[in-house]
Chains A and B, each alone.
Chain A
Amino acid sequence: MAAASPQLIASNGDSLREAFGKALTEIAPSFPNVVVLDADIAGGTGVHHFRKAFPERFFQFGIAEQNMMAAAGGMAATGLVPIVTTFAVFCLRAVEQARLSIAYTQRNVKIVASHPGLDVGPDGGSAQALEDIAAFRAIPGMTVISPADAEDMRQATRAILEFGGPVYMRTGRSASTRVFGPEHKFEIGKGQVIRQGCDVSLVACGVEVSRALDAADILAREGISARVINMATIKPIDSALLMAASRETGCIVTAEDHNIFGGLGGAVAEAIVQTAPCPIEFVGVRDVFGQSGEPQELAEHYELTGPFIAAAARRALARKKVNTK
Chain B
Amino acid sequence: MNATTHLSQLTAHLAPQSALIETLSVRARDIRRIALAAIYHAGSGHPGGSLSCAELLAALYGAELGLEAGQPLKADRNRFVLSKGHAAPALYAAWAAFGLMEPGVALTLRKLGSKAQGHPHVLDCSLAETSTGSLGQGFSAAIGMAMGLRHRKLDARVYAMLGDGELQEGEVWEGAMCAAHHRLSNLCAIVDYNKLQSDDRNAAIMGLEPLPQKWRAFGWHAIEIQGHDIAAILASFAEARATAPGPTVIIAHTTKGKGVAYMEDQPLWHGSVKLSREQIETALTALATNDQTVKELLDGSR
Contact = CB atoms under 8 A, between A and B. Distances in A.
A31 interface: no
A42 interface: no
A104 B145 contact: no
A97 B131 CA distance: 11
Nearest to B85: A100
A80 B145 CA distance: 10
Interface string B137-172: 100111111111101101000000000000000110
B123 interface: yes
A75 B132 CA distance: 15
Given A67-B174, A77-B148, A101 B140 contact: yes
Contact of A105 (B122, B147, B151, B175): B122
A78 B140 contact: no
B134 interface: yes
Contact of A75 (B123, B147, B177, B178): B147
A64 B130 contact: no
A166 B134 CA distance: 19
A71 B141 CA distance: 4
Contact of A78 (B121, B137, B149, B175): B149
Given A70-B144, A74-B144, A97-B137, A104 B121 contact: yes
Contacts of B140: 66-71, 74, 97, 101
A106 B143 CA distance: 18
A251 B11 CA distance: 83
Contacts, number: 107
Interface string A196-215: 00000000000000000000
Given A67-B178, A71-B147, A106 B134 contact: no
A96 interface: yes
Interface in A46-104: 56-57, 59, 61-62, 64, 66-80, 82, 96-97, 100-101, 104
A68 B175 CA distance: 8
A35 interface: yes
Contact of B130 (A62, A66, A73): A73
A61 B129 CA distance: 22
B148 A74 contact: yes
Given A61-B178, A101-B130, A105-B131, 9 more contacts: A62-B174, A66-B171, A70-B136, A71-B143, A71-B147, A75-B144, A77-B145, A101-B131, A105-B122
Interface of A: 35, 56-57, 59, 61-62, 64, 66-80, 82, 96-97, 100-101, 104-106
Interface of B: 75, 121-123, 129-134, 136-137, 140-149, 151-152, 154, 170-171, 174-175, 177-178, 181-182
30 contacts: A35-B151, A56-B151, A59-B147, A59-B182, A61-B178, A62-B177, A64-B171, A66-B171, A71-B141, A71-B175, A73-B141, A74-B140, A74-B143, A74-B144, A77-B144, A78-B145, A78-B148, A78-B149, A79-B148, A80-B151, A82-B144, A96-B134, A96-B137, A97-B171, A100-B132, A100-B133, A100-B134, A101-B141, A104-B123, A105-B131
Q: 8 smallest A-B Cβ distances: which pairs?
A: A74-B144, A78-B148, A71-B144, A70-B140, A74-B141, A64-B174, A67-B174, A75-B148
